[in-house]
Amino acid sequence: MRLTNRREFEQLAESAREKFAALGTGGRWSISVGMSECSFAKGARETWDHFRLQLERAGIQHDLRQVGCGGWCWAEPYVIVSGPSHPAVLYGNITADQVPDIVRAIEQGAISREHAVGIFGDADYDGIPSIHSDPFFARQHRVLLADAGVIDPTSIEEYIANGGYSAWIKALFEMTPEQLIDEVKTSNIRGRGGAGFPAGIKWESGRQARATPKYVACNSHEGEPNVYKDRRLIESSPHMVLEGIMIACVAVGSQRGYNYIGGEHMLAVARFKHAVQQAYEYGLLGENILGSGITCHIRTRTGGGAYICGEGSALMYSVMGERGQPRTKPPRSVEEGLWRRPTVLNNTETLAAVPAIIRNGGAWYAGLGVPKSTGTKLITFQGPLKRLGVVEVEMGISLRDLIFDVYGGMAEGRTFKGVQTGGVSAGALVESQLDVPVDFDSLTPLGGMLGSGGFVVFDERVCAVEFARYLMAFNRYESCSKCTPCRLGNPALVEIVDRIRLGRASMSDLKLIERTSKHVIELSLCGLGQVAPMPLLGMMQAFPEEFAEHIERHHCRAGVCPVGQQVLEPVAAD
């Protein structure tokens, strides 16, 4: 189906809304199975196959659908069932051997209480609580995740049925590029990749750049070990990300955009490519789109696994087929980026928020969150918590509320010790510091950082020295080695921490860490080197007694370091 004008799109949207509203009606059941990387690891494919066989065998009139990750990774594999007998219910941890229980409940028109997480609705039903009574759901404000777990990510029509591409139509026919930029500036949305630079100002600079052609690039690389928000967003709503890139292209005057996705995120790559293909087939991409006179082409590029390619200039070199290494600035990318032409680069989450901003207005978005950190933020947590997953909360929520309310607190038998902030780019905070707001500015004075929204909670079984060594080693391995401070300084820091772990250090080594870190931070070329020592410095600040114990007493509280154990010295040659 290729649409040629706005009227045809509006007719398609009306038809799509009617089809979507009909799911789970007319005596039919709608069964939606979450299909994403996190659910595949827990057997979602087998759950899907068993539902297909069991439902056909039972002769139940049904629509078996696949949807994306809803963010409640602790409930994977999950299933949402709605139909003629009861409202939509979320079932959690439905492996293949539990499918017959759900199918029998469907046959009886009942709810399988044993597996039910909650009802999708404002009120309880038949003794099953509404999901909105659960803090994990109640504390969220889902703008980007509104369709996550609701629509089939491979269906452009289901996206359109829920308001998708209406902002694109508005950008094509109702607004000038300058008006688009003004709305983004009014929203005051700041870059969600970690830097926090205002997106509207970046777009305006790209628009004002004189050289042509211009480009738009989306950074979906996401190479940190504890961050998985962007890949889940693309897996669940690839058309939302695509629509944001398309609007950015119109705003800055570009006819071509790129989405750079980490090559290890295979499902995200496949679903985004499929979304682009569908947009071309429906006439929403290409030449003279819907008769508007506007041309826009989008391409997908994949990374090879190097964390450094998440840095803006390194990403652009990689897109161009060159080695992914950062360069000095200026010139900035809005002046000289891809193929030495003006390029606007934004994070996936930033661009995904653009359609909602254009639909609802920048002032609406600015009303969410706090004045200097507006809007919502995708947050991911790892560690021994009762629940894990992706949540979308308004900026300004406290770190304590996130950990002990939204995520349910520590798992049974675990005691909170600290939380690593900013992915691998900042320090850890302890329990007495948890009442800090989660935004771009409040964490910094404490040695923390919002970064891209990835946090790791750890308990007393984790050694602060060992954890610091892991974070430093990650930054050492991922250094591109282009500049001397990062190439030599990070391995030196790892060696010092190893001396501490082995019981061969002195207290003067702590001063040496601080001095070396200062050189790495101040003299490194790019953002990786400029923050690489921060996790180590943060651990030393949060847990100074553990570093002292390793050095002076040869004692590791967690019992995981080789300190205190006998180490054989090499035998000298005769």
Q: Where are the beta strands (DSSP E) in 163-320?
A: 215-220, 256-261, 297-302
> What CATH number is given to the structural domain containing 248?
3.40.50.11540
Average pLDDT over residues 273-296: 98
The per-residue pLDDT for 565 is: 65
Q: Same domain for 519 and 549?
A: yes
Band the pLDDT of 224: cuts 50, 70, 90: confident
Q: Are 403 and 385 in contact (CB under 8 A)?
A: yes
Residue 260 scores a pLDDT above 80: yes
**Are 199 and 345 in the same domain?**
yes
**pLDDT > 70: percent of the chain:** 98
pLDDT of 200 > 80? The answer is yes
Give the C-alpha separation, 195 to 530, whole Å.
12
Q: How do residues 457-508 score in pLDDT, each as one tens digit?
A: 999 999 999 999 999 999 999 999 899 999 999 999 999 999 999 999 999 9
Confidence of residue 564 (pLDDT cuts 50, 70, 90): low
Choose one of 311, 341, 365: the last residue of a domain: 365
Q: What is the mean pLDDT of residues 157-168?
A: 98
- Decide if 565 is inside a domain: no
Please report the pLDDT score of residue 26 as a whole number: 86
Whole-number pLDDT of residue 569 = 52
* 394 and 352 in a common domain: no
In this predicted structure, what is the pLDDT of residue 574?
45
In angstroms, the CA 509 to CA 217 distance is 43
Average pLDDT over residues 68-93: 95
- Mean pLDDT calculated for residue range 424-444: 95
Q: pLDDT, tens digit, for every residue of 34-46?
A: 999 999 999 999 9
Mean pLDDT of 33-62: 96
Is 397 part of a structural domain of the chain? yes
Q: Is residue 425 included in any domain, yes or no?
A: yes
Q: Do residues 231 and 37 lie in contact, with contact meaning Cβ atoms separated by under 8 Å?
A: yes
Read off the pLDDT of each residue in 157-163 and give the average, rounded to a whole number. Answer: 98
Mean pLDDT of 413-429: 93
pLDDT at 572: 53
Whether the pLDDT of residue 424 is over 90: the answer is no
Q: Residue 471: which CATH number?
A: 1.20.1440.230
Q: How far apart are CA 399 and CA 396, in angstroms?
A: 9
Q: What is the tens place of the pLDDT at every residue in 503-554?
A: 999 999 999 999 999 999 999 999 889 999 999 999 999 999 999 999 999 9
Stretch 134-149: mean pLDDT: 96
Query: Domain range spanning residue 244?
Result: 164-365
Mean predicted confidence (pLDDT) in 307-334: 92
What is the model's pLDDT at position 528? 87
The reply to whether 306 and 209 lie within a common domain is yes
Mean pLDDT of the chain: 94
Asked if the model's pLDDT at residue 136 lies above 60, the reply is yes
Would you state the structure tokens that stand for residue 443, as one six-digit string?
């964490």
Same domain, 450 and 385: yes
Which domain-ending residue is among 365, 393, 421? 365
Residue 566 has pLDDT above 60, yes or no: no
Tokens 């930054």 correspond to 475
Task: Report the pLDDT value the prediction gives residue 304, as an integer from 0 to 100.
Answer: 85
Looking at residues 19-33, what average pLDDT do you find?
92
Task: State the Cα–Cα distance between residues 231 and 267, nearest whole angstrom.
Answer: 8
- Residue 226: the pLDDT is 84
Indicate whether 438 and 471 sit together in one domain.
no
Single-letter residue type at 330: P
pLDDT at 169: 98
How much is the pLDDT for 67? 97
Domain of residue 30, CATH code: 3.40.30.10
| Residue 235 domain-assigned (yes or no) | yes
Residue 195: the pLDDT is 83
Residue 165 has pLDDT above 80, yes or no: yes
C-alpha–C-alpha distance, residues 226 and 456, integer Å: 7
169 Cβ contact partners less than 8 Å away, ≥ 6 residues apart: 6, 9, 290
Looking at residue 568, its pLDDT comes to 43
- Total number of domains constituting the chain: 4
CA distance 214 to 264: 28
